[in-house]
Structure 1
Amino acid sequence: MSKLSARSAARTPRTASFVPVVQREVERLIGCGELHGGTRINESALALKLGMSRGPVREACRALQQLGLLRSELNRGFFVREISTKEAIDIYDVRAGLFATAGRLAAAIISAQQLLVLDELVSRMDEAIDALDIATFYPLNNEMHRQLIACSDNSKLIELFPTLEAELHLFRRRGLVLPGSMRASNDEHRSIVDALRHGDGGTAGRLMERHILAGKARFLRTLNDRSN
């Protein structure tokens, strides 16, 4: 192996480990409203902010493009994707069905360690709510959903759900800024975790489906508020 190849090979694991960090940061920036639909991703500035080279940033942007969160333009870079209201509503409906399935599956197999993780996320979101800190609440909310899907131990669900989550980042934040919405959302999380703790798949599935549909309802309220 040449010295150049050896150096490239040595960098690869480190670069790969940075990619999820960049992805989460882009999702956070969208969730807290710092990035909007149509905004160009400043790769150099993001790399500087995170203390890394542009390589992991570029790889993360490519991954987020595959998830549907970003789009690319030749010689211009990556931009936050914009989707229509109809697309958003359709995605909410699909997510509701998948979440219901995840709840039914997870209730039968969830471990004590997984329940501890979910309880901790609920507690941390309560703290963010008390501080009126949506910038902290939003990524915790995303992680809660990821963990709930992971608890299903269904590889296809785990593969599909991130794409549907990513496409809705711009819309989901709108609903959470409504008065009382973060508290209502986390109360729903707490009820879901209680159902999972008791191994009640039917209730867990219904609550998880209702949780997504409640998010859809909050999003639709923001549309009505903007039209009035």
Structure 2
Amino acid sequence: MRAELEFLQNHSLTSVLRRELESLILSGEFAPGERLNENSLATRFSVSRGPIREVCRALAEKGLLELVPNRGVFMRRIDEEQAAELYDVRAGLFASAARLLATKVTAAHISELERLLDRMEEAVAMHSLDAYYPLNLEFHDSILRFAGNGRLHKAYSELVKELHLFRERALLQGGGLSVSNIEHRRIVAALRNGDATAAMEAAFLHVLSGKSRMTLPAAAVPGHSSGNAPDTGDLA
């Protein structure tokens, strides 16, 4: 019984640490390529280094961290070629979700998506990436949730976590906020009509549009407070 209790306690601790460290990573606290100090993390979370190592291994398997033998744990760097490959896969997954949702969409689904569209439009008017970005994440995640395919949702979510810094950059480029929400409205219009083919095509082209913006030269956008990614909260 004691061994079982210790297992449950350790398992719970690891789960909590994993969520907390993943949240720090996705909030932009660590720069790409930055070395994570296990001792500092252990002190920060008031735990030993063992659970920190276990969590770092798990996050490395998810593609968020990189374990370098004899050197330590580093934030993963994703170059444009790798990001482009991830965008291509994400486009297919998001298109599949939109197609599935079009076959079962409800008035409640459309109402929620339109609510998010309106809030994103307000962020566009303010030229605020910090306001737009989490709403954009919620919009995409809502479509995945409403589609009702758990495996598809999980696969998409893992790609989102790997791509979050590149997605932010894509929204900064080429009138990204305004263009992005126009594309969102096309997706919702197709869903509202129950047109699976149009929804799939609009969703696919939307992600590829983000991929194209990613390769444009960097540009500053008013309302974006820092170089770090906005807080993604419970990023799906």
Give, as a single letter, the amino acid of the residue that structure 1 aligns with 2:154.
Answer: E
2:64 pairs with 1:65: no
Structure 2 unaligned blocks of 5 or more: 220-236
Q: 1:178 aligns with which of 161, 173, 176?
A: 173
How far off is 1:88 after superposition? Answer: 1.9
Q: Structure 2 vs 1, CA of residues 86 and 42 (structure 1 numbering), >3 Å: closer, same or farther?
A: same
Q: TM-score, normalised by structure 1?
A: 0.74
- How far apart are 1:210 and its partner, in Å? 0.7
Give 1:82 shift. 1.4
The answer as to whether partners of 1:36 and 1:170 remain within 8 angstroms in 2 is no
When residues 68 and 117 of structure 1 are mapped into structure 2, their CA distance, relative to the original with a 3 A threshold, is farther
For structure 1, the residue ranges without an aligned partner over 5 or more in a row are none
Match of 1:97 among 92, 101, 108: 92
The percent identity for this pair of structures is 38
SS in 1 for 2:179: helix
Residue 24 of structure 2 contacts residue 30 of structure 2 at CA under 8 Å; is this kept in 1? no
CA deviation string 1:73-104 (max 9, x = no partner): 35755322112322222222222222222211
Structure 1 equivalent of residue 144 of structure 2? 149
1:157-196 to 2 correspondences below 5 Å? 157-178=152-173, 180-196=175-191
Q: Which residue of 2 aligns with 1:40?
A: 35
1:202 counterpart residue number: 197
CA contact (8 A) 2:174 2:216 kept: no
Contact persistence 1:19–1:56 (CA under 8 A): no
Q: Is the 8 A contact 2:174 2:213 kept in 1?
A: no
Name 1:140's counterpart in structure 2. Answer: 135
Residues of 2 paired with 1:48 and 1:123: CA distance? 43
Contact 2:191 / 2:199 at 8 angstroms: preserved in 1?
yes
Quote the residue 1:26 is aligned against.
25
Tell me, what secondary structure is at the counterpart of 1:79? strand
**Secondary structure of the corresponding residue to residue 169 of structure 1:** helix
TM-score by length of 2: 0.72
Q: Which residue of 2 aligns with 1:125?
A: 120
The amino acid across from 2:141 in the alignment is: R
Cα distance in 2 for residues equivalent to 1:42 and 1:120 = 42
Give the deviation of 1:45 after TM superposition.
6.9
Tell me the number of residue pairs that the alignment of Structure 1 and Structure 2 aligns.
218
Taking only aligned residues, the RMSD between alpha carbons, in angstroms, comes to 3.4
Structure with the larger helix share: 1
Which residue does the alignment assign to 1:110? 105
